[in-house]
Structure 1
């Protein structure tokens, strides 16, 4: 991919997506398809995006018993997306099962498998008081990244604040995909561990995931190029 970020298509319907892409001439840009869109539009949405040359990160965050995840990944493998993911907290056996499913189901192309460490909507208080993880959030993310790598994942979803540390432990070729990216003048919304594109690049991110700073902007195309410029000049 020649562009450093996935544009999050957090829209309800395929009509909304097509209108947004056409209106802003975003044909061919890398995109993230999440639960909201995929659960409604499914394979047909993926096919349309592929027909228009979009690299695709299918962000479903699978988390279930290993057998179920393996079978689900087998079914997702031949969609032709570039990246799929699971929750690292599902454990090593589940991650390995996900990789087996992808390898068995892939035809022309094997998607990259990445694992979510700690959601960027969570902070230290949530981690300790609700999830009962008695580690600093960066330590917990680092531990889950090492688990993911040792279980066959190609990378992780992590906060930009943890990307450099994960690279140090897991190697420079281990992918770090960082959501929670905001332009400096954008709202944080429901994200807690946010970062600018420049900070993410400087701290070791391979790819960004950015949505509302662009999709909710008065001028989405202008903000899209602001992100590119900030990344390139970081």
Structure 2
């Protein structure tokens, strides 16, 4: 089964974000909005602006705070109608359990997806923050904790997908950022993979940012990724 593809609307204004969304809506399954856009415009305004396109919205705020504060943020996100919401597994069991309880009480609960190890980090970065063990082992440990706390899935790099997929329930979603089609620049990501390889590894959702958003023709770039995942050649 082909994973869903979310286009990251990494823009500084609603106008720019909607322009990119309108060009790519036919070729993607949803849109991710993150800190840059939400800080500039507010998540509610962005979600309302994207609503006419009829695609689900992934609110990537990576929540990490005391349990009561995160639970309140989950309720607020649910009122905006977002489909996916992220929080850091490193926030701990009490925080995740409070978030899951808050989500369950919502009329339209968002999927809660836990951040394991950011794709901009590598082994040296983990060691610098006092984390022992390999990146895959640490990501797997956090994923299993997320399952036990009632989350709906995790974010990890494609390189950790096989390890995590083997230790979590099949319905548990695995979301993979840092997707780079063959020949794309890696940028500030350290653990990347092509769309097809990530799909074969077992990813459920692929998040694609710069390879679409920075392309000369974002629509064509999104279509190329969709065709790569379907195994069909891209025709002019």
CA offsets, 1:32-67, max 9 Å, x none? 010111122221111121232121110000001111
Unaligned runs of 5+ in 2: none
Asked whether the equivalents of residues 148 and 156 of structure 1 are also in contact (C-alpha less than 8 Å), the reply is: yes
Alignment length (residue pairs):
229
Matched, 1:231 2:232: no
The Cα shift of 1:29 comes to: 4.2
Three-state SS of the structure 1 residue aligned to 2:68 is helix
Three-state SS of the structure 1 residue aligned to 2:181 is coil
The one of 158, 173, 182 aligned to 2:156: 158
Asked whether the equivalents of residues 21 and 31 of structure 2 are also in contact (C-alpha less than 8 Å), the reply is: no
Q: What is the match of residue 121 of structure 1?
A: 120
Deviates more, 1:38-47 or 1:119-128: 38-47
Matched, 1:92 2:101: no
Distance 1:219 1:52 in 2: 19
Taking structure 1 as the reference length, the TM-score comes to 0.93
CA offsets, 1:67-121, max 9 Å, x none? 11111112111111111010000111110111122223x22x2111110000000
The Cα shift of 1:25 comes to: 5.2
The Cα shift of 1:3 comes to: 6.7
Taking structure 2 as the reference length, the TM-score comes to 0.92
Unaligned runs of 5+ in 1: none
Matched, 1:12 2:12: yes
1:172-187 paired onto structure 2 within 5 Å: 172-187=170-185
CA gap of 1:25–1:6, structure 2 versus 1, over 3 A, is closer
